[in-house]
Structure 1
Amino acid sequence: MTGLFSDIEPFLAVAAEGSFRKGADRLALTPAAMSKAVARLERRLGVALFLRTTRRVTLTPEGERFRERCLAASREVEAGAGEAAEARSSMSGEIVVTAPFIVGRLLAGKLPEFLRLHPALSVRLELTDRRVDLPGERVDIAIRIGAPGEADLVSRRLAGLRWTMVASPEYLAEHGVPETPAALAAHRGLAFLAPSGRVAPWRFHDAGREFELPPSPGLVVDEGEFLVDAAAAGGGVAQVFSFMAAIFVADGRLTPVLERFQPAGPDMHAVMPAGRNANPRVRATLDFLYAVFSGF
């Protein structure tokens, strides 16, 4: 393994410079030494990393993928060195958290409290529905709904989510309160358009059986929080995760309906690169996130 690591630096230098000679100058080695190091690495990996011509050196597809992995590993090593240099009790610096858009509203209302408890910390919250490459993008914690993801990540379950079906009191006063899922056919539906382009079905359970129904015609949107806003404005009936509607239900802007028919939802996890959960800043943030979501 030692030989592998010693040959990676020449490989990265050649890839960065596009030349064995320039890569050698970068590391103060001879071009012959660079060529031997790359050749050893290619033999060890069993693939060609570069396409060589008399005029230029370019990465093969396998070489490009290997380079990306090496750079990500290098960033992790640098991050680990920085963390090791910090005092173990350090509670200062920046925490980078990514989360789906649908948790943005709830976190926006809770993060100021966390920062008051830890005034030397700063939080960078990035809302995105894509699956983030945590090590490659220097992310400390990613909040994910559903399966936590890659096996090389550490995960902590934050909550078992619940579905809730809601409408505004004004809408229900005008259109009536549905007593069964079948009664929703007579109501205006507010539905979610999934990234796949499919309208997400409404989910129910009854007498130990789970089933789905297509949302009744109404409004279809690709943003979960918009569903909550539209329902609060009297637009119809929506099915969302309970944490999304909690503030609106608490202040009376939304009323839950068909509560006994609502099934359990997926789990929510916080995931992070291996070893990152030992950092005091990360542990404090995880505890905060658990406190926020575990009640839902």
Structure 2
Amino acid sequence: MQINLFESIRVFIEIVESGSLTQAAENLRIHRPAVTKALQMLEQHSGTRLLQRTTRRIDLTPDGETFYRRSKPLLAQADALLESFGSDAVLRGQLRVDMPIAFAVLVVIPRLPEFYRMHPDIEIVLSSSDRRRDMLREGLDCVLRVGELDDSDYVARRVGNIRIKTCASPDYLAIHGTPDTLEDLQTHKAINWINSNSRFIKPWTFTTSEGTADITLPSKLVVDNSQAYIAAGLAGLGVMQGMSLFLQPYLDGGQLVEVLPHHPAPDRKLSLLYPHRHLSRKVRVFTEWLESLL
């Protein structure tokens, strides 16, 4: 198989993202020797070693890290350019997406069958995590994030707003009482959320007559996972503040009770991040479908 420079860059990116030459060959549906030849060709053209290979693992060299970060968006732009001249062509291939766990489990995955009915040849590689991911290093096409953004290197598209509610289980409120004011809340225990990247406890936010108030409450439990957060609230371990999209079924079923409804938390932004401005058709159709869910 003859591999040109453009294709060898694609092979290199697939090796980095899959973690092995064998897996890259399988994902690209080419023979293993062709992958090795493509890598050798790229290293010869670039004049540097891009990967450090041992019998157990593959690591990027410093030059390889730089080459990967610069070639990934360039290749994506080239793919988007070619796709723009074939708008009637069937969309196919992988789409790598990351989003919060609860959003993936409760919103996206239950509705994926309808997406596949429209685009049966797209394979979605869905990573669900409540940890901030390095989009380029992990080969992601787009990332769904809730709240304020601090990734100036990426392009963000706002896809909606998420309402926030404060609540607790009936058992917790029966023992500790129901807070009527923000001062009352200071006597309660919270289930706190920690940012897994910065390791800072996220403050709670409320709307008051004077504006927005940030409050940090004491807690007996701190979590960094949305499923654990909901489970802790249902177990009566404290007051919680979270996205109504996920809490509403438990509020409707009486397993949770809203508190301080007269001090609502401001809505949080829901944004989709891309590594560059030139979107492929796969990313564009997924974005439009995701917006339709909201």
TM-score (norm 1): 0.67
User: 2 CA distance for matches of 1:66 and 1:92?
Assistant: 29
For 1:79 and 1:135, locate their aligned partners in 2 and report how far apart those are by CA, in whole Å: 16
User: What SS does the corresponding residue of 2:262 show, helix, strand or coil?
Assistant: helix
The residue aligned with 1:211 is: 213
Distance 1:120 1:68 in 2: 27
Contact 1:188 1:218 in 2 (8 A): yes
Aligned equivalents of 2:142, 2:256: Cα separation in 1:
32
User: CA deviation digits over 1:155-211, x for unaligned, max 9?
Assistant: 321122332111123333343321112212333321112232332222222103222
Are the counterparts in 1 of residues 76 and 280 from structure 2 also a CA contact under 8 Å?
Answer: no
Q: Could you tell me whether the CA contact under 8 Å between 1:160 and 1:264 is conserved in 2?
A: no
TM-superposed CA distance for 1:290, in Å, is: 1.6
Higher mean C-alpha deviation, range 79-88 or range 121-130: 79-88
Matches for 1:174-253 after TM superposition, within 5 Å:
174-195=175-196, 196-253=198-255
Paired residue for 2:99?
A: 99
Secondary structure of 2:201's counterpart equals coil
Contact 1:76–1:135 (Cα < 8 Å) also in 2: no
Cα gap change, 1:94 to 1:236, in 2 (>3 Å): same
Matched, 1:173 2:171: no
Q: CA deviation at 1:10?
A: 8.0
In structure 2, the CA distance between the partners of 1:211 and 1:63, relative to structure 1 (3 Å rule), is same
Quick one: structure 1 residues 77 and 119, their matched pair in 2 at CA, closer, same or farther if it must change by over 3 Å? closer
Matched, 1:14 2:15: no
Q: Give the ranges of 4+ consecutive aligned residues of structure 1 lying more than 6 Å apart after TM superposition.
A: none
Q: Summarize deviations over 1:196-227 as a string: whole Å, max 9, x none.
A: 23322222221032222222333222223312
1:266 Cα deviation after fit: 3.2
Aligned partner of residue 167 in structure 2, secondary structure: strand
Aligned CA-pair RMSD:
3.4
Answer whether contact 2:205 2:265 (CA < 8 A) is retained.
yes
Superposed displacement of residue 153, structure 1: 4.2
In the TM superposition, what whole-angstrom CA distance separates every residue of 1:222-242 from its partner, at most 9, and x where no partner exists?
A: 223312111112222111122
Task: In structure 1, list runs of 5 or more residues that go unmatched.
Answer: 1-8, 19-60
Aligned residues: 242
In the TM superposition, residue 258 of structure 1 has moved relative to its aligned partner by 0.8
Contact 1:224–1:240 under 8 Å retained in 2: no
1:108 equivalent in alignment to 2:109: yes
Equivalent-residue separation in structure 2 for 1:82 and 1:252 (angstroms): 53
Cα distance, 1:87–1:218 mapped onto 2, change above 3 Å:
same
Distance across 2 between alignment mates of 1:228 and 1:17: 44
2:110 is paired with a residue whose SS is helix
Query: Per-residue displacement from partner, 1:123-180 (whole Å, max 9, x unpaired)?
Result: 2211234544545544222112234565664432112233211112333334332111
Cα separation, 1, equivalents of 2:112 and 2:187: 40
| Matched position secondary structure for 1:261 | coil
| Cα deviation 1:66-104 (Å, max 9, x = unaligned) | 534443355436644764686534244432211133423
Distance 1:78 1:132, change over 3 A: farther
Rg larger in 1 or in 2?
A: 1
Q: Is the 8 A contact 1:190 1:220 kept in 2?
A: yes
Aligned pairs for 1:6-155 within 5 A = 12-16=45-49, 66-73=66-73, 75-76=75-76, 79-80=79-80, 83=83, 88-106=88-106, 107-135=108-136, 137-148=138-149, 153-155=154-156
Deviation of residue 245 (structure 1)?
Answer: 1.4
Q: 1:97 to 1:75 in 2, by over 3 A?
A: same
Q: Paired residue for 1:56?
A: none
